Amino acid sequence: MNDVLKSIDEIVGSYLLPGLGVTVNDIGGQWKTENSAGGYKIGITLDAPLDGIKPLIADELKALIMTVSGVDGIDITLHAFIQVHIPCGKNSPIPGVKNIIAVASGKGGVGKSTTSVNLALALTKEGAKVGILDADIYGPSIPMMLGIDDGVRPEQVDGKYFRPIISHGVQSLSMGNLVTEKTPIVWRGPKASGALLQLFQNTIWNDLDYLIVDLPPGTGDIQLTLAQNIPVTGAVIVTTPQDIALLDAQKAIEMFNKVNVPVLGVVENMSVHTCSACGHSEHIFGEEGGARIAQTYDSVLLGTLPLALSIREHVDGGNPSVVADPEGAVAMEYRCVARRVAVNLALMEKSSVIPVVS
């Protein structure tokens, strides 16, 4: 290897990804450098979808590489290829799914489902193929949040399997797609757990990089069924800064620790409210609670979302913030959360298992 190529390799490998605190080498990036008529061409493949910052990455790398003596020109192409990472336990892979991310909270009403749909949509915007499974059997809300009309049913295959419903580019399935909005699910725990397993095992997911699982609040049957039977790659914990919510979030983290599911980080919702009339900002539910609990458990704060009317209006209308206002501050924060989740997952050990694509 000549000195120019060696210098380029060192620059690429040690390059710190913007806002993510990791290098290309850290997340197992691969690249190939070739001579071309105009200088050099570099193709870089990353184990995380980072479409939102690709232009910035390319510009910064170009500037660094152009300082190398002997480089007259540089062309950089960035790709994402999401790897399969080692899941919990010895559970068999889900066909068509590379990585499963559980979104959980110990307490209801903290914005977990809102986070789930916006995270799924943000990962899609970043360039990944994403699905979302609504594991809240008793109170499914994902269909409404994704704008799927009541009465829309998934396509059945061979009378046993379901094809997920696609909305906003995300594959999804929920118990809410199988019953009407006014039909209560009155089941004991084992039956609900069995229904969850059927949703996992009987859904024909189409080559997903990530499957987001929106869990119900708490640490009960559904959560244990998931941990014991499904190869969960990692978990995202959702909380508000309120002390009571933090206590319950702590229980959720402890549960995942006990079943050996890595916690990828914490999302803090309702962190601050800004008055639409006067512009005054106030921490109604407390301040920096998400950061404290992340630090306590040696995890990371993935992002903070405000207590904003628009977030509620968007999900109620079936157009979550990431698609309703894609250039807005809330959507940009969800995009940052998505990139951090993807990078933290990419830091995990890779698996040699290749999931069967249905």
Alpha-helical (H) ranges within 202-268 are 221-229, 243-258
**pLDDT tens by residue, the chain, 358 residues:** 588 899 999 999 999 999 999 999 999 999 999 988 778 999 999 999 999 999 999 999 999 999 998 898 999 999 999 999 987 556 678 999 999 999 998 778 899 999 999 999 999 999 999 999 998 877 789 999 999 998 899 999 988 899 999 999 999 998 878 765 666 555 555 677 777 888 888 999 999 999 999 998 877 778 888 888 889 999 999 999 888 888 888 988 999 998 889 999 999 999 988 888 888 888 888 788 888 999 999 999 999 999 999 999 999 999 999 999 999 999 999 999 999 999 999 999 887 665 554 4
pLDDT at residue 21 in the model = 94
Q: How many CB atoms sit inside 10 A of residue 276's CB?
A: 9
pTM for this predicted structure: 0.93
pLDDT at residue 1 in the model = 52
Give 126-188 as a DSSP string. Answer: TT--EEEEE--SSS--HHHHTTPPTT--PEEETTTEEEPEEETTEEEEEGGGTS-TT------
pLDDT at residue 335 in the model = 98
Angle between helical axes of 54-65 and 3-14 (0-180°, round to 10): 140
The candidate with the shortest Cα–Cα distance to 267, out of 307, 294, 298, 242, is 294
Q: What is the DSSP letter of 328?
A: S
Give the residue carrying structure tokens 């570099």.
Answer: 42
In degrees and rounded to multiples of 5, residue 29 shows phi and psi of -65, 145
Residue 336 CA, chain-centre distance (Å), reads 10
161: Cβ contacts below 8 Å, ≥ 6 apart: 202, 203, 204
pLDDT at residue 275 in the model = 82
Q: Where are the domains of the chain?
A: 3-80, 97-346
Give 253-320 as a DSSP string. Answer: HHHHHHTTPPEEEEEE-S--EE-TTT--EE-TT-SSHHHHHHHHTT--EEEE----HHHHHHHHTT--
B/e letters for 8-44, b = 16+ CB within 10 Å, e = fewer, are beebbeebebeebebebebbebebebeeeeeebbbeb
> Is the domain covering 97-346 a CATH 2.40.50.140 domain?
no
Which of left, alpha, beta for 201 (phi over 0: left; psi -120 to 50: alpha)? Answer: alpha
Would you tell me which CATH number, out of the four given (3.30.300.130, 3.30.1370.60, 3.50.50.100, 3.20.20.70), belongs to the domain 3-80? 3.30.300.130
Contact (CB, 8 A) for 114 and 320: yes
